[in-house]
Structure 1
Amino acid sequence: MRRVFMIGGAITKFGKHTERNLKSLAAEAISGALADADVAKEALQGVWVGNAAQGVLTGQESVRGQVVLRALGIGGIPVVNVENACASSATALYGAGALVALGEMDVALVVGMEKMYLDDRTRVLSAFSGCMDVEALPELTRNFANQQERVKKGMQRGGAKKKKSRERSIFMDFYASLALEHMEKYKSTQRQLAVIASKNHYHSTMNPLAQYQNSLTIEEVLEAPEVVWPFTTPMCSPIGDGAAAMVICSDEYARRIGARHSVEVAACMIASGEDRSKITESTLSRLAKKAYERAGVGPEDIDLAELHDATAFGELYSTEELGFCPLGEGGVFAEAGHSTLGGKLPINVSGGLESQGHPIGATGVRQLVELYWHLTGRAGRRQVQGAKVGLAQNNGGSIEGAEGALSVTILKA
């Protein structure tokens, strides 16, 4: 097996791009990644494209990658379309990286892209519900509603009745359910979730490509409109548009072209979720251990991490399951400032999904480009000084209260 390197990457600004189509967003990211790698499009030997929702949102099915690539004059090579919920583009890297490692090709492009913002919010929300077992949705919805009703009866919130946000994705209920379980078991708090959200919004002020770039205090996060208890709006990722792209190649190819900025894809591991009632250790925890072993590192060696904070609880949970702190102490870890830029393990210095945004098919590659910029010393004001090893954790979908798809990727300078 050959070593695989990342030699270029680019991201569009995430946000509501009402005046642009998916071809335009993908073209910007792809052209930027190729220019960063100093690789001509004619040199590409394959392209993997991660996209989750264009079929639901625009009717574009089957050949999503070919459609955007043909517009750029890229063809005559394998184009593989990957749909795996929010982990679509991380899964695309898994496939492309395997073929480069096996020697089937020397250089490949990996793209993540999503155009999600529509005036028809019902159609947008249906893209999220389609990332679950649709036959089980009525029962899930009832269970979530019953759990929230028990919360209202059993918790004293105090103060005036909070303003509610607009209609929400069912994934906010899914994460709320997990957060409530964690609160009951470990005594984690809503304030700890606010600490994480406030930290990520602070990080976003240093990221010109983030959808949100505003700093919020802990109190401002807590006082914001409620989405579903215990989440307020700044604790949840927004809907938006964006694309990201990365160029990968063999170690020999990187040497031959004299790649200016290269980092090793030391591990790229994926898994599907499992029935939580039948396992004693989470799927994410076991997947992380496999990634650490493959990369020859441990959690103590990670210099920065980009975690899947579709909600603030997602970051808290992943911080624990990845071994960065003991189970039950993810909130305490954040409160101590360890995950803030300048702390012992900066997490989501991009602003995370909560602030950078979450065009779902683009997020996996976006996380990796962020790590790549830090490992090559090009992250600007948010640079993690001396960073040599970065980890990205991405997941998507849900079945029976567990993740549908998970990925852990480790890059090494």
Structure 2
Amino acid sequence: FLGRVGGSGPPVGVGLRMFGELGQHGLPITNVELACGSSSRALMLAADSIRAGSADVAMVIGVEKMERGMLQVGGVGATNYASVMGLNVMPAAYGMMAQRHMADYGTKPEHFAQVSVKSHRNAVHNPFAQYRIAITLEEVLGARMVCDPITLYQCCPTSDGASAVILTSEKFARTRTTSPVRMRAWAGGSPMYTSGREGLGEGPTEIVARKVYEKAGIDPKDVDVTQVHDAFTPGEILTIEELGYVPHGEGGPFVWEGGTEITGKFPVNTDGGLLSRGHPMGATGGAMVTEIVRQLRGEAGARQVAAAKVGLVQNAGIGGVNVMVFEK
């Protein structure tokens, strides 16, 4: 299963081309495109395939060779008001959500900026991160404004990258490893576009997370380490609220007080997240999963969360959401 958005390079059939070059023949290959959630969706499809008995072992690959300026959401046209107003780029959408959060709950620009400070600090200890440089709150707030209140250092970079995950049946895993990590529950949800939704409202992450918690038989308080889709800093604050870690409106102060630090109540994006590890779109979901696996195996080194047993991944793609729970 291969997740990829587009970028540069061959437009179609990347999975077929890749495995052909590796000399792999006669295996079923599925190319998956779900924007930034492509490889996490591919992982869920692989899990479904194994659960159905169609395979014992599946390889899930995410890959992206990006170009400059790949943040546009839709086509540009004179009749497209979003394009004319500059709202067809992701920073604008996140900026508007951040402003609504500030208006509704009193969240401060410093709260969003603190997400970037924390993520960059975590990335210092991640050899796979794109940016391994710590930055200060003052540097984040003083950087060039992109979409108020989001400054440059609160935006994910343009990234090239790849990820790979091996998923097997439990029976097969017992013959190959003494430290398996189990993919316990998963679900996905489509974007919510409705004129009846007031304010930020209940988003797809909240709906999908409830399904996954029920499937896994856990509550939000049972999660030890989390990876969320922080392409822009408001993403982390909004998502920890939608995951039920804190009530709506309290995400900003929670982050400010260290709640999402490695030693906090709910450690989030211990590898630096999309902001610092990087965001090669088709590979991002797989990269998030690999960090959770390292954490649950106790292999994260200086960024290790103590006694981590349950991990959660929330990966988004143009408004759609994939949520997965893993356990040691």
TM-score scaled by length of structure 2 = 0.95
Asked if 1:186 is matched to 2:105, the reply is yes
Asked if 1:100 is matched to 2:50, the reply is yes
Amino acid at match of 1:233: L
Asked if 1:138 is matched to 2:75, the reply is no
Asked if 1:231 is matched to 2:150, the reply is yes
For structure 2, the 5+ residue unaligned runs are none
Task: Tell me which of 187, 191, 196 is aligned to 1:278.
Answer: 196
Q: 1:110 to 1:297 in 2, by over 3 A?
A: same
Q: 1:294 to 1:133 in 2, by over 3 A?
A: farther
Q: Deviations over 1:355-401 (max 9, x none)?
A: 0000000000100000000101111111111100001101011xxxx
Larger mean CA deviation between 176-185 and 77-86 belongs to 176-185
Q: 1:315 to 1:181 in 2, by over 3 A?
A: same
Structure-1 residue corresponding to 2:4: 51
Structure-2 residue corresponding to 1:295: 216
Whole-angstrom CA distance in 2 between matches of 1:80 and 1:53? 15
CA shift at 1:278, angstroms?
3.3
Structure-2 residue corresponding to 1:252: 171
Task: Tell me which of 13, 25, 36 is aligned to 1:86.
Answer: 36
Task: Tell me which of 118, 127, 134 is aligned to 1:208.
Answer: 127
Amino acid at match of 2:141: L
Q: 1:299 to 1:380 in 2, by over 3 A?
A: same
Q: Between Structure 1 and Structure 2, how many residues are aligned?
A: 325
Asked if 1:128 is matched to 2:51, the reply is no
Whole-angstrom CA distance in 2 between matches of 1:133 and 1:313? 25
Contact 2:91 2:155 in 1 (8 A): yes
Asked if 1:332 is matched to 2:253, the reply is yes
Q: Secondary structure at the match of 2:188?
A: strand
Q: 1:64 to 1:230 in 2, by over 3 A?
A: same
Structure with bigger helix share is 1
Whole-angstrom CA distance in 1 between matches of 2:79 and 2:151? 23
Q: Secondary structure at the match of 2:157?
A: coil
Amino acid at match of 2:184: A
Asked if 1:61 is matched to 2:14, the reply is no
Whole-angstrom CA distance in 2 between matches of 1:181 and 1:137? 26
Contact 1:84 1:396 in 2 (8 A): yes
- Equivalence map 1:328-367=2 (5 Å): 328-367=249-288
Between structure 1 and structure 2, the one with the greater Rg is: 1
Whole-angstrom CA distance in 2 between matches of 1:196 and 1:144? 25
CA shift at 1:410, angstroms?
0.7
Asked if 1:197 is matched to 2:116, the reply is yes
CA shift at 1:229, angstroms?
1.1
Whole-angstrom CA distance in 1 between matches of 2:41 and 2:268? 22
Asked if 1:309 is matched to 2:259, the reply is no
Asked if 1:267 is matched to 2:267, the reply is no
Asked if 1:218 is matched to 2:171, the reply is no
For structure 1, the 5+ residue unaligned runs are 1-47, 146-168, 398-402
Q: Deviations over 1:240-272 (max 9, x none)?
A: 1000000011111112x2323311111121111
Whole-angstrom CA distance in 1 between matches of 2:79 and 2:225? 36
- Equivalence map 1:374-393=2 (5 Å): 374-393=295-314
Whole-angstrom CA distance in 1 between matches of 2:166 and 2:77? 39
Q: Secondary structure at the match of 2:47?
A: helix
Amino acid at match of 2:321: L
Q: Secondary structure at the match of 2:282?
A: coil
Percent identity over the alignment? 37
CA shift at 1:137, angstroms?
8.3
Amino acid at match of 2:241: E
Contact 2:57 2:168 in 1 (8 A): yes
Structure-1 residue corresponding to 2:61: 111
Whole-angstrom CA distance in 1 between matches of 2:270 and 2:194? 31
Whole-angstrom CA distance in 2 between matches of 1:77 and 1:189? 52
TM-score scaled by length of structure 1 = 0.76
Q: 1:274 to 1:223 in 2, by over 3 A?
A: same
Q: What is the root-mean-square deviation in Å for CA atoms of aligned residues?
A: 1.7
Q: Deviations over 1:108-161 (max 9, x none)?
A: 011111011x4xx3xxx2x432x446679831134457xxxxxxxxxxxxxxxx
